[in-house]
Amino acid sequence: MNADRNLLFGILAFQLNFIDRQALLAAFDHWTADKNKLLGQILLDQGALAVDSHALLEALVAKHLELHGNDPEKSLAAVSSIGSLRDELRAAVNDPDVEASLAHVSIDSAYEKAGTTLSWTAGTSTSAGTRFRVLRNHKSGGLGDVYVAEDQELHREVALKEIQERHADNPDSRSRFLLEAEVTGALEHPGVVPVYGLGSYADGRPFYAMRFIKGDSFKGAIKAFHQAKAGVGGWPRSLAAPKPMPRATSRRYVRPRQAVQPRRRWANGLERCNL
């Protein structure tokens, strides 16, 4: 029973990104030498888990057990499939008690049939164990890198944005990245790219998937607009030729904004300014 509860604690801590894969394997390896200790205490002693995180996870495990009749086996059966982590625990720990506890964890049959996964995949799927397969690099920004990926569940191309490695271990940068994904996902507007999902890699690095929109950027369209010569070759199709503006408004212009100004919000994402 102690092994079942420890495995439940470890799985929840891993799936919620409190610890990484290596920390979980190391803690279980230590537990096999001293089975009187709880896995949470071992993670605390090894510095893999903070005190407040440990308290939060203990409460979560207790609630999970309560919801399943205080039966660790039922709780383990209720958690989502752990995929390749099952095989890694078996290989690294090689303990009969851990093996018996793993038998209670639900099995993703699609994963078991696949045997192996692609070298670079992200996100769980209801159909093949991994959802997004990176195809090629698209663009890089100050905080994240954007790739064109295949959504293997819905068979479409998406834009997959992940935090850059140089920012991955910075708590502030990671919080900014997650906030960006959550805020963008909460916005519903024709001018805002919809977010399809938020997830993380095995090492805890976050990513999110968006609609991949082909074509020029807004910045590129504006540049082409200003470079075009009136009456020669026409205007870009996405921008109609401008009509003469009334004299009273001829000294006004619009500019694209990535963020909406709180005092002057326009639904179309443009801010009007005086020259």
Report the CATH number at residue 143: 3.30.200.20
Give 21-38 as a 3 state SS string.
HHHHHHHHHHHCCCCCCC
Are 224 and 207 contained in the same domain? no
**Residues recorded for the chain:** 275
Output the pLDDT for position 159: 94
Instruction: Report pLDDT for 95.
Output: 76
Mean pLDDT of the chain: 75
Residue at 258 is within a domain: yes
Average pLDDT for 166-189: 87
Strands lying side by side in the sheet with 206-211? 121-122, 132-140, 144-151, 156-163, 206-211, 195-200
Residues 134 and 172 in one domain: yes
- Return the structure tokens found at 125: 């799927």
Least confident of 98-102, 197-201, 258-262: 258-262
For CA atoms 251, 256, 259, 260, the dihedral sign is positive
Query: Given this model, what pLDDT does residue 15 score?
Result: 80
Examine the pLDDT at 142 and tell me if it is beyond 50: yes
Counted domains in the chain = 3
Whether 57 shows a pLDDT value over 60: the answer reads yes
Give me the residue label for tokens 């074509």. Answer: 215
Which residue segment(s) compose the domain that 227 sits in? 218-274
Please tell me the distance from the alpha carbon of residue 161 to that of residue 134, in angstroms, as a whole number: 10
Q: Is the pLDDT of residue 136 over 70?
A: yes
In a domain, 113, yes or no: no
pLDDT value at residue 160: 93
Maximum CA pair distance of the chain? 85
Is 34's pLDDT higher than 90? Answer: no
pTM above 0.75, yes or no: no
Is the domain of 179 the same as that of 257?
Answer: no
Same domain, 134 and 99: no
- Give buried/exposed letters for 202-212 (b at 16+ CB in 10 A, else e): eeebbbbbbeb
**Nearest one of 183, 210, 184, 182 to 196, comparing CA atoms:** 210
The predicted structure's pLDDT at residue 208:
93
- Among residues 83, 75, 140, which one has the least CA distance to residue 107? 83
Domain match, 147 and 196 both: yes
